[in-house]
Structure 1
């Protein structure tokens, strides 16, 4: 029942958004334009349906506000840094591609996370390993170990903010539309299969690693 209600609310939101876009295109708010937007929106949703996206957590408004604040902070800070790198009287910075393991489980939240990273100047996600939850990110400034450590700290902080806002463990309910089980997601986070013993003969616990990485949300 909850899944059905969420589905209906999502469809109503999409219809409202399409109607608003239609009215904006006409540049005039009138009953005829609103009605026309509803008709066009329904036609688009029926004739050109988007694939269903699993929604497996819930939104925490306070955490979402914190995420919004930090996103704009990082965007502003990175804009200043990139501008300085462009005008400073030195050689261009050392660039490269860094790999990040991400503890985000939901494909929808992962997409939002990647979008946020791409909107922050100086970083661009080049490839996503969906199964192993690995991101390959082009970083503008890798000229020092401090810069590399700063990048990883930024990624971890942003990751925690997204999980706190959208998919805390207490709210996590895997959707029937999910193409993989949780165990399969987190059984191959690293470079080797989690079921294989390490050099010391012990088995890796990727779920424990994920939980430690996420930390406390309060």
Structure 2
């Protein structure tokens, strides 16, 4: 599929999403609200130059299921660690800002990674640098360089799981130009 068709499909999907949000905000669907929604969506596109939403080219169901299970495991473990520290040593818990350089060039994968790490207790996205593909996260407990490296590696593992499960246009084009090695 060529780029123009993908771009048009992406914009139509975003327009449908905005239209659905418009109707949900009103809480009902009438002909007048539908016409008004179409006008509002058209104006939003004309005024704001919305970006093209990255698309997923291929979903690998088994890898996706594995990513969900690993996320559930990470959620359980991080909840237990944060709970233990909150109950036993609440004043001794230290955190750190950890910078993680992402391997993916897909904004969709980066968004999924940032959402995933922000849902886990003990990690929170502080500052995404979308242009350089760098994420700054607050992680806790972090008392040493090794624990900071462990937090960074946890984010990179999450990214790898999502890259394995969801193939995006950006990552596929980069993979086509590479030596074929698994990153």
- Give a deviation string over 1:152-180, Cα, whole Å, max 9, x none: 44223212112113347996226xxxxxx
Q: Decide whether aligned partners of structure 1 residues 59 and 65 sit closer, same or farther in structure 2, where only a CA change above 3 A counts.
A: farther
Structure 1 stretches lacking a partner, 5+ long: 175-181, 183-206
Greater CA radius of gyration, 1 or 2? 1
Match of 2:57 in 1: 58
Q: Decide whether aligned partners of structure 1 residues 9 and 69 sit closer, same or farther in structure 2, where only a CA change above 3 A counts.
A: farther
Count of equivalent residues: 179
**Any conservation in 2 of the 1:57–1:172 contact (CA below 8 Å)?**
no
For 1:100 and 1:157, the matched residues in 2 are separated by 11
Deviation at 1:10, TM superposition (A): 1.2
Deviation at 1:141, TM superposition (A): 0.5
Q: Secondary structure at the match of 1:33?
A: helix
Structure 2 stretches lacking a partner, 5+ long: none
Q: Secondary structure at the match of 2:173?
A: coil
- Give a deviation string over 1:86-105, Cα, whole Å, max 9, x none: 22256422322333343213
Q: Secondary structure at the match of 2:105?
A: coil
Q: Decide whether aligned partners of structure 1 residues 19 and 76 sit closer, same or farther in structure 2, where only a CA change above 3 A counts.
A: farther
- Give a deviation string over 1:36-86, Cα, whole Å, max 9, x none: 322222221222221346x48623141344334433443343234323322
Q: Decide whether aligned partners of structure 1 residues 22 and 52 sit closer, same or farther in structure 2, where only a CA change above 3 A counts.
A: closer
Structure scoring higher RCO (CA < 8 A, sep ≥ 6) equals 2
Please, what is the CA RMSD of the aligned residues? 3.5
Q: Secondary structure at the match of 1:59?
A: strand
Q: Decide whether aligned partners of structure 1 residues 134 and 19 sit closer, same or farther in structure 2, where only a CA change above 3 A counts.
A: closer
Pairs within 5 Å for 1:125-140: 125-128=125-128, 133-140=133-140
Match of 1:204 in 2: none
**Any conservation in 2 of the 1:56–1:172 contact (CA below 8 Å)?**
no
Structure with more strand by fraction: 2
Match of 2:20 in 1: 20
For 1:36 and 1:89, the matched residues in 2 are separated by 56
**TM-score, normalization by structure 2:** 0.73
**Any conservation in 2 of the 1:57–1:171 contact (CA below 8 Å)?**
no
